């Protein structure tokens, strides 16, 4: 069984894509708002009926109903509002995520947790501490979204499909993320061979500001792309695909970082994180990555200590 905790825009989109990909016969939706998960489940059941897909959704306001889940997708938390950075959400969402983590530890102790709650990296750390799970089973959705945005913007300038681009974005999921054009390839050639320095600077800027731009334009943050992306990650786990993703994980010496979550290339399979891939970086890339890690540390430092101890 797969459980989605938090049935707002991202949670609902994630639940839809999980069903469309037929990743489990039973998907449970949990939310604190009475009636919301039940109504979403009913609507999604009608959707699956129309599409001829044998997936059953059920809605609940009780964490106990996640029992037996092998994957728990956590999207719950306060939404990012116009002008609000991900970092400003830290203290507010840590309490919510911590409570969910303790519930997962009690009712779904064998689950792999996929996080989307912002600020993402800090919330991965909160979940890691709250569950007490090994790092392999607490994974933050971030790089799939950021790298997808980088591929999109690069594709428009190069004139190829986004699917032809292998994009790399590491570090923080936020304003200090580090797109790596030198490691971003179009079938064997880095995009630095297709684009000028100014064009690369522009797509890096667009990638970093994409989330804020969406929020500014429509008044709330992105949901369609995160919902699809977290479902793709869940698919790799459920089907043991051994597929490489960019995602947030607790680092234990990789990239010279200890005990801090950050977006890096990693392999996902039935055990969760099965391997972390270390990239070679130039001195400038290392400097930017270190700044990104320091921003994550600072973000974690904004969380009241009792919530992560």
Is the Cα torsion angle 93, 170, 174, 289 positive or negative in sign? positive
Burial class of 132 by CB neighbour count within 10 A (0 to 12, 13 to 18, 19+): exposed
Place of tokens 């980088």: 150
Reading the block at residue 290, the tokens are: 């270190």
Q: How many CB atoms lie within 10 A of CB 134?
A: 12
Q: Is 66 left (phi over 0), alpha (psi -120 to 50) or beta?
A: alpha
How many angstroms separate the Cα of 103 from the Cα of each of 106, 111, 124, 195? Answer: 5, 11, 15, 49
173 given a catalytic annotation: yes
Closest Cα partner for 151 from 165, 138, 171, 137?
165
The one catalytic residue among 17, 46, 107, 173: 173
Is the Cα torsion angle 11, 16, 22, 25 positive or negative in sign? positive
How many angstroms separate the Cα of 101 from the Cα of each of 76, 79, 114, 181, 296? Answer: 11, 19, 11, 36, 20
> 25 phi and psi, to 5 degrees?
-75, -20
Beta bridge partner(s), residue 26: 56
Which residues are catalytic, by number?
A: 173
């Amino acid at each position: 069984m797969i459980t989605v905790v938090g049935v707002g825009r991202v949670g609902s989109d994630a639940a839809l894509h999980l069903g469309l990909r037929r990743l489990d016969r039973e998907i449970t939706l949990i939310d604190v708002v009475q009636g919301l998960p039940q109504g979403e489940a009913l609507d999604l059941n009608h959707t699956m009926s129309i599409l001829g897909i044998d997936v059953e959704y059920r809605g609940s306001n009780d964490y106990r109903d996640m029992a037996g889940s092998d994957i728990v997708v956590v999207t719950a938390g306060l939404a990012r509002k116009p002008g609000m950075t991900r970092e400003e959400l830290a203290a507010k969402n840590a309490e919510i995520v911590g409570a969910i983590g303790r519930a997962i530890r009690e009712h779904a102790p064998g689950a792999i947790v996929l996080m989307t709650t912002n600020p993402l990296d800090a919330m991965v750390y909160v979940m890691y501490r709250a569950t007490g799970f090994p790092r392999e089973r607490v994974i933050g959705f971030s790089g799939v979204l950021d790298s997808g945005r980088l591929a999109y913007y690069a594709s428009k300038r190069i004139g190829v499909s986004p699917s032809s681009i292998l994009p790399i974005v590491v570090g923080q999921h936020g304003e200090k993320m580090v797109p790596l054009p030198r490691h971003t390839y179009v079938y064997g050639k880095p995009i630095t061979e297709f684009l000028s320095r100014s064009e690369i600077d522009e797509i890096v800027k667009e990638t970093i500001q994409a989330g804020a731009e969406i929020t500014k334009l429509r008044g709330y943050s992105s949901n369609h792309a995160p919902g699809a992306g977290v479902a793709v990650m869940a698919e790799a786990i459920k089907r043991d695909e051994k597929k490489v993703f960019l995602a947030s994980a607790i680092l234990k010496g990789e990239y010279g970082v200890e005990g801090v979550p950050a977006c890096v290339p990693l392999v996902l399979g039935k055990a969760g994180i099965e391997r972390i891939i270390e990239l070679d970086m130039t001195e400038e890339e290392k400097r930017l990555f270190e700044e990104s890690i320091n921003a994550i540390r600072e973000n974690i430092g904004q969380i009241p200590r009792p919530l992560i101890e």
